[in-house]
Structure 1
């Protein structure tokens, strides 16, 4: 999709990063992801940034933008590995991209972690702002967490610029399934086990306790 980007500079009072790196990331994601994932990723940035603003958190908008834009790249054919969690594939894609722009290692680590942990509830909120806010944005857009903490005007403005498809709930589950169905072992211990349990009749969950009890240890 080599569509030219004519996007508003500010949405719901949140400015979109406009550096050379941010513009390149936007174009890369736009060319790689379908409309559903692209619009979802943009919304994640705005929800995350609005959350940071509401909580008076100090965060780097550009790093938050990188985490939001790359967080689902591991679901695409271009970046999916054969054996890693899709979250790690997206994190690795972001790391390689950021390294090519000379971003400091500490910042790269924060973006990598924000993507790798974005489907791990209860942990990112205790970490640095980039990590916490990417997950907050994902949880708002996918799960509706903290929905009422955003004003109706904020929700309407973000979704006017980056619409939720009428079947987004079902469609995003389908995207998760497509990104994991060929590597079901990557669902162990994470929420994608629920996705394949719903979408793949041949899927069998691995059980943590069974693995412990079947280990080679004698006791």
Structure 2
């Protein structure tokens, strides 16, 4: 480990040229709230991997964590794709500039595209599983007590949540989806718009079935 390496809660922050470039790009693109959230996602994800004895690639986990909310930003948002897919596509484009295998590209893509799809990521390879684990810990507090108070304190001291993170992250989710509400169908961001956008009308899956062109 380099004497200049940054270590938080026992986890070394990747400092390869690729990781540094990812940090710089995300820092220049995202809000402070999302940047610090993304770094915490990496740290909580890495600690989860250590606790569970998973063999994971810290750089791939780092890129997945750092890019997982990039699709919320106007500069990376498409008109019709889910924000998770926009972020996944941004990460894939970024990684293609480096010597990354197709399997690793796919893992990072999946880690971002699936991070709001409960019940699936934990059955995938470590990069995918651990990005979601980090997100679920930081946003929902899942497995909160599996981390020590010292770990939580050190991570949040280095990357503050602030006094209104819960409201801030909901606002970020709303901002990133309110222009394309149809992309929230079947995923958790529908709950965000239902709470924050008084004009939002949730699509009902059962109504779609009953209203299809089939006779029966």
TM-score range, shorter chain: over 0.9
Match of 1:144 among 141, 145, 149: 141
**Which residue of structure 1 aligns with residue 98 of structure 2?**
101
1:90 Cα offset (Å): 0.2
Match of 2:73 among 58, 68, 76: 76
**Which residue of structure 2 aligns with residue 3 of structure 1?**
none
TM-score normalized by structure 2?
A: 0.97
1:46-61 mapped onto 2 (5 Å cutoff): 46-61=43-58
1:102 Cα offset (Å): 2.9
Alignment partner of 1:118: what SS? coil
Verify: 1:184 aligned to 2:181, yes or no: yes
| Unaligned ranges ≥5, structure 1 | 1-6
Match of 1:24 among 18, 21, 24: 21
RMSD: 0.9
**Alignment partners' CA distance in 2, 1:80 and 1:102:** 26
1:8 Cα offset (Å): 6.2
| Unaligned ranges ≥5, structure 2 | none
**Alignment partners' CA distance in 1, 2:183 and 2:16:** 35
Verify: 1:209 aligned to 2:206, yes or no: yes
1:214 Cα offset (Å): 1.0
**Which residue of structure 2 aligns with residue 164 of structure 1?**
161
Number of matched residues? Answer: 213
TM-score normalized by structure 1?
A: 0.96
- The answer (yes or no) to whether the contact 2:67–2:112 under 8 Å persists in 1 is yes
**Which residue of structure 2 aligns with residue 11 of structure 1?**
8
**Alignment partners' CA distance in 2, 1:139 and 1:128:** 17
Q: Which runs of 4+ in 1 moved over 3 A?
A: none
